[in-house]
Structure 1
Amino acid sequence: MTVHLTAGRHPLIVKTLAWPDEAATEAFAQALAQRPAVGHALIELRGDLGAGKTTFTRHLLKSLGVAGRIKSPTYAVVETYTVAAPELHAQDNRELVISHFDFYRFNDPNEWEEAGFRDMFASPGLKLVEWPDKAGKHLPQPDLVIAIEMLADATRSVTLTAHTPTGAELIA
């Protein structure tokens, strides 16, 4: 289902999906990795503990060419990866920088500013953010919000909300 709403100057696009199993999560991540806009997007991942935010991120990173172990940045706050990128993803046609943030352990939104993340968010590349609400008003507007809810039967109900034209391109 797709619903067009309006917020500010850009229409919001909202889509709902169901991921009945991890294979569906992986398939969505692989499809998203093929979108040219993913190389310069800010994607917020929302959901309770255990909803599947990090699992989705691991599948997306692998689909984008990250090899080896993909760690959760819960304690480090950010993990950065650089991969050789196809022309469609890279700003300079050679590499894609991916930053995976996890603000779960933030006690105060001002920790974002104190940690010096402003420069990282201003630089080119893909930014994936878990627990964005913990950074408060410091985060730039996301292109796409992926909200994951675990249902009683372990199916994930997923709501995609595009806040920008880049986000709309990602879920088109």
Structure 2
Amino acid sequence: MLTLKTGNAGETKSLGEKIGKKLQGGEVIALIGELGAGKTCLTQGLALGLGVNPREYVTSPSFTLVNEYQGRVPLYHIDLFRLKNREEAEALGCEEYFYGEGVTVVEWADKAENLFPAEECLRIELTPLGEDQRRIILKPFGRRYREILRDIL
């Protein structure tokens, strides 16, 4: 586990970009945090690190539920905010993304944690500490994710 603090949105995005540069495809990133915690900002950085065109604005897919972006590997950005229960997440087909060739990022992942590959994911918890600062806790599950964290330090 690694705990970091970021001082502003730019630092949160930069952390995401560092992580994104280490991703190869097939990874699952579970984002947890309240509204405004920085989940989408971190995902924007992940997208940059994955080589998604910076002109393609990465937004939270709250209404579409899933956005796909093309980079060196696909980025599947899923938002479970509007879902009421695990069954709705299952109906969405989240699990199919977890085992694909792209990187799957799930906002509000705590709404369907039992769907995640238990031994292989990176759980990132974001907590606001005032207007701009964030506490970010990165919990790697699996060797690949521990290596990613080691490499970004």
Change (3 A) 1:164 1:75: same
SS at match of 1:40: coil
Structure 2 residue aligned with 1:152: 130
RMSD: 1.6
Residues 44-86 of structure 1 deviation map (CA, whole Å, 9 limit, x = unaligned):
1111100000011012212322121222111111111122x2x
Structure 1 residue aligned with 2:28: 42
d(CA) in 2 for partners of 1:116 and 1:157? 31
The offset of 1:143, in angstroms, is 1.6
User: In the TM superposition, what are the counterparts of 1:131-142 in structure 2 within 5 Å?
Assistant: 131-141=108-118, 142=120
d(CA) in 2 for partners of 1:30 and 1:117? 24
The offset of 1:26, in angstroms, is 2.5
Q: Which has the higher helix share?
A: 2
**More displaced stretch, 96-105 vs 144-153:** 144-153
d(CA) in 1 for partners of 2:7 and 2:113? 31
SS at match of 2:58: coil
Greater Rg over alpha carbons, structure: 1
d(CA) in 2 for partners of 1:153 and 1:118? 35
Same amino acid, percent of matched pairs: 29
Structure 2 residue aligned with 1:62: 48
Report runs of 4+ in structure 1 exceeding 3 Å deviation: none
Q: TM-score, normalised by structure 2?
A: 0.87
SS at match of 1:74: coil
How many pairs are equivalent?
Answer: 147
Q: TM-score, normalised by structure 1?
A: 0.78
